[in-house]
Amino acid sequence: MTPATPARPGPLVMGIVNVTPDSFSDGGEWFDPERAVEHGVELADQGAAIVDVGGESTRPGAHRPSEEDELARVLPVVEGLSEQGVTVSVDTMRASVARAALEAGATMINDVSGGLADPQMPSVVAGTGTPFVAMHWRGHSTRMQSLAHYDDVVEDVCRELTERVEALVAEGVGEDQIILDPGIGFAKTAEHNWELLAGLDAVVALGLPVLLGTSRKGFLGSVGRTRGAERAPQQRDVATAVTTMHAALSGVWAVRVHDVVATVDALDVTTALAAAAGARR
């Protein structure tokens, strides 16, 4: 059974199970429901406090599945993991999918649109008291990169997240339900991602729990590499682990990752270094 809190200090680890044929990192690998459940249980055993199940790819340029397809992908996996005692989050922008997933055993909603994609989502959240991840979002995958324009990405993201919280609260969502996600890679260039990571403490300073998702994203594939020699998605786990250490030091609530083992190792190293530094003071 997945622990409610980590065995170590620092951020929780949220493991990713993509039940899609077209995710950028592992599209199709866990598309079979039985394999997806097995993988989710494995992530929990490796140290994931939460397993995030999603049936829609949100990579740049991805097209949305139908509501029926998303439900068929997600619900058997949510139900199977919940029956195994795993704490499950559902990664969806659709209120109908969120509602059905909660009925199937999910205990958290992770909406990359922060409730903007479906006007019914806030009523689902407000009616259940369920924790709700509201990510910084400017548009769907087919057009989001055309919206990557900022005066100051850190200030703009913080302002837009604050506005989203105010709107959700006005629709009946409890502020204590809301978890913020700065939306690394969503309507952001590589430079924006690095600036936002460097300014992560400003997002944390907004006063709500923060979820960070950098795992295997494109900017980690290109850093330090020439064009044409970028790391493939599954070769980005070391770079992801470095951002995990930064997230831990910045005070985030949780990190969302594909490779739980590398993430737990990174957090253990961060904790040990912090303890040693404290002992020297």
* Res 2: pLDDT: 33
Q: 172, exposed or middle or buried, with CB in 10 Å at 0-12, 13-18, 19+?
A: exposed
pLDDT 10s digits, 127-156: 789 999 999 999 887 888 888 999 999 999
State the helix-helix crossing angle for 33-46 and 260-280, rounded to 10 degrees.
20
* Res 278: pLDDT: 82
* Res 25: pLDDT: 55
Q: Name the one residue in this structure whose structure tokens are 């019914």.
A: 120
Active-site residue among 73, 99, 164, 256?
A: 256
* Res 277: pLDDT: 85
* Res 62: pLDDT: 78
pLDDT above 70 covers a percentage of the chain that reads: 93
Active-site residue among 99, 217, 231, 236?
A: 217
Answer yes or no: pTM beyond 0.75. yes
Q: Is 217 a catalytic residue?
A: yes
Q: Is 256 a catalytic residue?
A: yes
* Res 58: pLDDT: 80
pLDDT 10s digits, 228-252: 899 998 999 999 999 999 999 999 9
CATH 3.30.360.10 fits 12-56+64-220+232-276, yes or no: no
* Res 29: pLDDT: 62
Which residues, given as ranges, of the chain have pLDDT below 70? 1-9, 22-31
Q: Are 51 and 87 spatial neighbours (Cβ–Cβ below 8 Å)?
A: yes
Segments making up each domain of the chain, as ranges: 12-56+64-220+232-276
